Amino acid sequence: MAALSMIIPYPPSASTCGYCSPPGERSKTRSSYKAGSVIAVGPGLSCEVYQKMIDRGWRRSGTYCYKPDLRRSCCPQYTIRLDALEFKPSRSHRKLVHRWNRFILEGDSSDKMDGSQSSKPKVKGANNASFHLISSIHESERSFISDGESVHAFEVTLEPSSYTDEKFALYEKYQAEIHMDFDNAPSGFKRFLVESPLQHERISYPSQRPAHLPETYGSYHQLYRVDGQLIAMGVIDILPGCVSSVYFMYDKRWEKYSLGKLSAMRETALTRELHDAGISGLSSMYMGFYIHSCQKMRYKADYSPSYLADPEEYTWHSLDKCIPLLEENKYVCFSHPEHSIPHGAPIPERPAPPMLSDDELQQINVFMKVEHRQIIVSPMNHSHGWDNVDTRKTVLYNIDALGIELSKEILWFVHSNDGESESE
The answer on 214 and 81 residing in a single domain is yes
Look up the domain containing 288 and give its range. Answer: 77-161+196-309
What per-residue confidence (pLDDT) applies to 21?
78
Q: Which residue has the higher pLDDT, 417 or 151?
A: 151
Measured CA distances, 288 to 67, 112, 215 (Å) = 12, 40, 24
- Asked whether residue 279 is domain-assigned, the answer is yes
Those residues whose C-beta lies under 8 Å from the C-beta of residue 384, and which sit 6 or more positions away, are 366, 368, 378, 414, 415, 416
pLDDT of residue 423: 42
Terminal Cα distance for the chain, rounded: 37
Query: How far is it, in rounded angstroms, from Cα 221 to Cα 247?
Result: 10
**Of 256, 282, 309, which one is at a domain's C-terminal end?**
309
Q: Is residue 386 in some structural domain? A: yes
pLDDT tops 70 at residue 250: yes
How many domains does the chain contain in total?
2
Is the domain of 394 the same as that of 294?
A: no
Percent of the chain with pLDDT over 90: 86
CA distance 14 to 32: 5
Mean pLDDT of 5-28: 90
98 and 51 part of one domain? no
Closest by Cα among 157, 288, 159 to 218: 159
Instruction: Kindly tell me if the per-residue pLDDT of 393 is higher than 80.
Output: yes
Q: What is the pLDDT of residues 288-343, one digit of tens each?
A: 999 999 988 989 999 999 999 999 999 999 999 999 999 999 999 999 999 999 99
Q: Residue 162 — very low, low, confident or very high, per pLDDT cuts 50/70/90?
A: very high
Higher pLDDT, 125 or 89: 89
Give the span between the Cα atoms of 306 and 205, in whole angstroms.
27
Taking only the tens place, the pLDDT of each residue in 109-133 is 666 545 555 554 455 544 545 789 9
- Asked if omega into 305 is within 30° of 0 (cis), the reply is yes
Residue 203 belongs to a domain? yes
Same domain, yes or no: 23 and 112: no
Which of 309, 329, 361 is at the close of a domain? 309
Q: What is the pLDDT of residue 418?
A: 45
pLDDT of residue 412: 98
Mean local confidence (pLDDT), 143-169: 94
- Ranking 73-82, 127-136, 227-236 by mean pLDDT, the lowest is 127-136
Q: Do 82 and 60 lie in a common domain? A: no
91 and 232 together in one domain:
yes
* Same domain? 234 vs 301: yes
Cβ atoms of residues 224 and 166 within 8 Å: no
Q: What pLDDT, on a 0 to 100 scale, did the predictor assign at position 424? A: 42
Same domain, yes or no: 71 and 112: no
Mean pLDDT of 174-182: 94
Q: Is the predicted pLDDT of residue 91 greater than 80, yes or no?
A: yes
Which helix (H) or strand (E) segment is 160 a member of?
strand 154-160
What pLDDT does residue 417 have? Answer: 57
The pLDDT of 246-273, averaged and rounded, is 98
Adjacent-strand bridge partners of 286: 81, 244
- The last residue of one of the domains, among 277, 293, 309, is 309
pLDDT confidence of residue 415 = 76
Domain presence at residue 49: yes
pLDDT in tens, 350-381: 999 999 999 999 999 999 999 999 999 999 99
Looking at residues 8-12, what average pLDDT do you find?
A: 96
Query: Do 18 and 138 fall into the same domain?
Result: no
Same-domain status, 15 and 140: no
pLDDT of res. 146: 79
pLDDT at position 398 is 98
Whether 154 has a pLDDT exceeding 90, the answer reads: yes
Q: Is residue 177 part of a domain?
A: no
Collapsing DSSP to helix, strand or coil, 199 comes out as: coil
Question: What value does the mean pLDDT of the chain take?
Answer: 93
Asked if residue 289 and residue 245 are part of one domain, the reply reads: yes
Residue 155 has pLDDT above 50, yes or no: yes
